[in-house]
């Protein structure tokens, strides 16, 4: 559904170099701290910026050549952009009705009411959570094959986040669909995504299936003496801690079996991210 | 493109009181009689409303809406085309209302004989507002609403300087502006009006091409 091959975009103080893929039937997550390059990647995918090098294909086509008909198959929610906040939901419904063949005004308004969004009020009076819900509802309202969601859960409380993630799971119930979603809240992605890309300073540090990430990655917490005795072959990163080192491994089973006395925690995306970004490469 | 037009009309609805006030002022002007005779009311309404049509670009700029709009099923050419069409629709609507108000006032003052003369005089505001939109839009798309105004002022200054230079050079070659005007005065109203419409169409066409190029090169 999406393919980036050695995409390169250079700015004065930032450079993006990414290769990635979003497959049909999958939810792919893009995670990284603020300023990692997630939004720039999204912009390149959506044809909002022109890459300096590399190739971008969305639904098999260069984004710059996507026709309006092609674009009907893509639903988008951007973190810092949307419909004018001077419009109301009813206004947006009227606009969407003209834009998309598969948009049902009645269903959209019904969904908005289900999520307690006032349809007559200007969006500028909405809370952050209400705005985020509206963006996602808008993106999924026209039977898109591909959803591109940049930080859709930013600024939401736990309840609202869960509601929103459930909406996305419902959306994926139909086959032939895919989602690319970014977030700096890694727990959201852990529970939702099939595979995850980790990004920092414009570069990808890691790509892994979520099952592998949660099942095989682990954090060893060792003192300097234990660290010295460890087999370093399967250690990816280490970070100095007050007690010694936190070490990231992709082979937690190996260390569990061979070093039964050591403190070994299951890998959580947050920990993996912290160590991949802030840790020392081994 | 219909979706974009719906969006802009709905955004403009926010300013319905302003438009109502404009119409009230126009009615007062027309009703006040011969002091505001001629086609002034139609011109006033047309130009103010046409200028206002450009404010929808500020709405698109505000909240960084551009990015999202360009992910909708449109392309940048359609976006630009919509801005010109929207401006033309609003300008023409305002012109029609202005002419209607003015004609009503003439009936009220029992000066029906002036109707045709007023209408033909008012026609000249159509190419004027089209040229106005055609000149302003590329600057606003390129530099944004605020910086676009400054850029437009600078461009007007440059054009004035260029015209002044041409006049000076023409003077040396024996071509004077007075002579040109004298030649034009020999033309009929219909010919001048046709010339204005053709000029406006040409300016709008080139302005559109420039605007499309600006938008297609714009990184959002």
> Nearest CA of chain B to the CA of A63: how many Å?
10
Range in A39-43, A149-153, B50-54, B175-179 the model is least confident about: B175-179
Looking at the complex, does the CB of residue B7 fall below 8 Å from at least one CB of chain A? yes
| Mean pLDDT, residues A108-133 | 90
Please check the confidence at residue A5 and state whether its pLDDT lies above 90.
yes
Question: Has residue B36 got a pLDDT over 60?
Answer: no
**Residue in A239, A230, A244, A242 with CA at minimum distance from that of residue A271:** A239
Do A37 and A89 belong to one domain?
A: yes
Residue (of A30, A22, A26, A279) closest to A151 by Cα position: A30
- Per-residue pLDDT tens for A237-250? 888 888 888 889 88
Q: Do B75 and A67 touch (CB under 8 A)?
A: yes
Q: Which of A153, A177, A212 is the last residue of a domain?
A: A212
Minimal Cα–Cα distance from A24 to chain B, Å? 20
Tell me whether A10 touches chain B (CB under 8 Å): no
Q: What is the ipTM for the molecules in this complex?
A: 0.85
Structural domains in chain A (count) = 2
Of A159, A178, A212, at which residue does a domain stop?
A: A212
**Range with the poorest average pLDDT among A86-100, B88-102, B133-147:** B133-147
Domain match, A162 and A121 both = yes
Structure confidence at residue B8 (pLDDT): 92
A128 in the same domain as A45: yes
pLDDT reading at A172 higher than 60: yes
Is some CB atom of chain B closer than 8 A to the CB atom of A83? yes
Q: Which whole number is the average pLDDT over A198-214?
A: 89
Percent of chain B at pLDDT above 70?
92
* Extents of the domains making up chain B: 2-217
Q: What is the mean pLDDT of chain A?
A: 89
> Which chain A residues are Cβ-neighbours of B67 within 8 angstroms?
43, 48, 78, 80-81
Are residue A176 and residue A83 in the same domain, yes or no? yes
Name the residue among B11, B67, B73 with its Cβ closest to that of A71.
Answer: B73
Candidates A84, A85, A90, A100, partner chain B, best to mutate (most B CBs within 10 A): A84
First to last CA, chain B: 20
pLDDT 10s digits, A45-61? 999 999 999 999 999 99
Contacts of B219 in chain A (CB under 8 A): 48-50
Same domain, A133 and A257: no
Question: Is the confidence at residue A89, as pLDDT, over 90?
Answer: yes
Residue B220 near chain A (CB below 8 Å): yes
H-helix or E-strand containing A240?
A: strand A235-241
Secondary structure string (H, E, C) spanning A81-119 = ECCCCCCEHHHHHHHHHHHCCCCCHHHHHHHHHHCCCCC
CB atoms within 10 A of CB B10: 18
- Residue B35: pLDDT band (50, 70, 90) is very low
Task: Kindly give, in sequence order, each residue whose CB lies less than 8 Å from that of residue B178, ignoring residues fewer than 6 positions away.
Answer: none
Give how far A11 is from chain B: nearest CA, Å: 12
Confidence of residue A166 (pLDDT cuts 50, 70, 90): confident
pLDDT at B22: 86
pLDDT of residue B117: 76
Q: How far apart are CA A276 and CA B152, in angstroms?
A: 50
pLDDT band of residue B72 (cuts 50, 70, 90) is very high
Helical pair A89-99 and B2-12, crossing angle rounded to 10 deg: 160
pLDDT of residue B37: 56
Q: Nearest Cβ partner of A68 from B66, B74, B219?
A: B74
DSSP one-letter string for B90-156:
HHHHHHHHHHHHHHHHHHHTT-GGGHHHHHHHHHTHHHHHHHHHHHHHHHHHHHHHHHHHHHHHHHH
Whether A46 and A63 have beta carbons less than 8 Å apart is answered as: yes
Which range of residues forms the domain containing residue A273? 217-281
Please tell me whether residues A235 and A126 are part of one structural domain: no
Residue B182: the pLDDT is 66
Which residue from B minimizes the CA distance to A80? B64
Last residue of a domain, one of A192, A212, A232: A212
- pLDDT surpassing 50 at residue A259: yes
């Amino acid at each position: 559904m999406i393919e980036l091959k050695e995409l390169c975009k250079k700015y004065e103080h930032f450079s993006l170099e990414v290769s990635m893929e979003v497959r049909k039937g999958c939810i792919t997550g893009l995670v990284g701290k603020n300023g990692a390059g997630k939004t720039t990647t999204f912009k390149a995918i959506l044809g909002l910026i022109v890459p300096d090098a590399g190739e971008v294909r969305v639904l098999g086509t260069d984004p710059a050549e996507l026709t309006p008909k092609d674009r009907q198959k893509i639903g988008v929610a951007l973190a810092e952009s949307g419909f004018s906040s001077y419009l109301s939901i009813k206004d947006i419904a009227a606009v969407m009705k003209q834009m998309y063949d598969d948009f049902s005004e009645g269903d959209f308004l019904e969904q908005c009411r289900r999520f307690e969004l006032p349809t007559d009020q200007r969006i500028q009076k909405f809370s952050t959570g209400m705005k985020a819900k509206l963006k996602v509802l808008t993106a999924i309202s026209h039977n898109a094959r591909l959803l591109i969601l940049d930080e859709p859960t930013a600024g939401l409380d736990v309840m609202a986040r869960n509601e929103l993630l459930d909406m996305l799971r419902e959306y994926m119930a139909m086959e032939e669909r895919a989602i690319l979603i970014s977030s700096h809240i890694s727990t959201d992605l852990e529970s939702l995504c099939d595979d995850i890309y980790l990004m920092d300073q414009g570069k990808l540090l890691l790509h892994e299936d979520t099952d592998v990430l949660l099942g095989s990655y682990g954090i060893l917490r060792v003192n300097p003496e234990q660290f010295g005795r460890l087999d370093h072959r399967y250690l990816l990163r280490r970070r100095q801690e007050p007690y010694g080192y936190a070490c990231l491994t992709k082979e937690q089973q190996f260390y569990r079996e061979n070093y039964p006395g050591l403190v070994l925690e299951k890998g959580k995306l947050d920990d993996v991210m912290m160590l991949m970004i802030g840790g020392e490469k081994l | 493109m219909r979706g974009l037009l719906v969006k802009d009309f709905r955004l403009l609805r926010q300013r319905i009181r302003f438009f109502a006030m404009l119409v009230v002022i126009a009615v007062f002007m027309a009703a006040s009689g011969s002091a505001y005779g001629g086609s002034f009311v139609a011109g006033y309404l047309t130009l103010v409303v046409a200028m206002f049509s450009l404010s929808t670009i500020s709405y698109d700029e505000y909240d960084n809406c551009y990015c999202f709009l360009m992910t909708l099923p449109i392309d940048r050419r359609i976006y630009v085309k919509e801005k010109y069409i929207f401006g033309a629709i609003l300008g023409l609507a305002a012109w029609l209302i202005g002419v209607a108000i003015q004609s009503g006032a003439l009936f009220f003052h029992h000066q029906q004989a002036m109707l045709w003369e007023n209408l033909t005089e008012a026609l000249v505001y159509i190419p004027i507002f089209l040229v106005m939109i055609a000149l302003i839009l590329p600057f606003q798309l390129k530099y944004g609403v605020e910086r676009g105004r400054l850029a437009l002022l600078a461009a007007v200054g440059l054009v004035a300087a260029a015209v002044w230079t041409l006049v000076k050079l023409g003077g040396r070659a024996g071509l004077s502006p007075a002579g040109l005007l004298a030649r034009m005065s020999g033309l009929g109203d219909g010919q001048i009006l046709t010339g204005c419409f053709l000029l406006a169409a040409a300016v709008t066409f080139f302005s559109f091409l420039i605007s499309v190029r600006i938008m297609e090169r714009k990184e959002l």
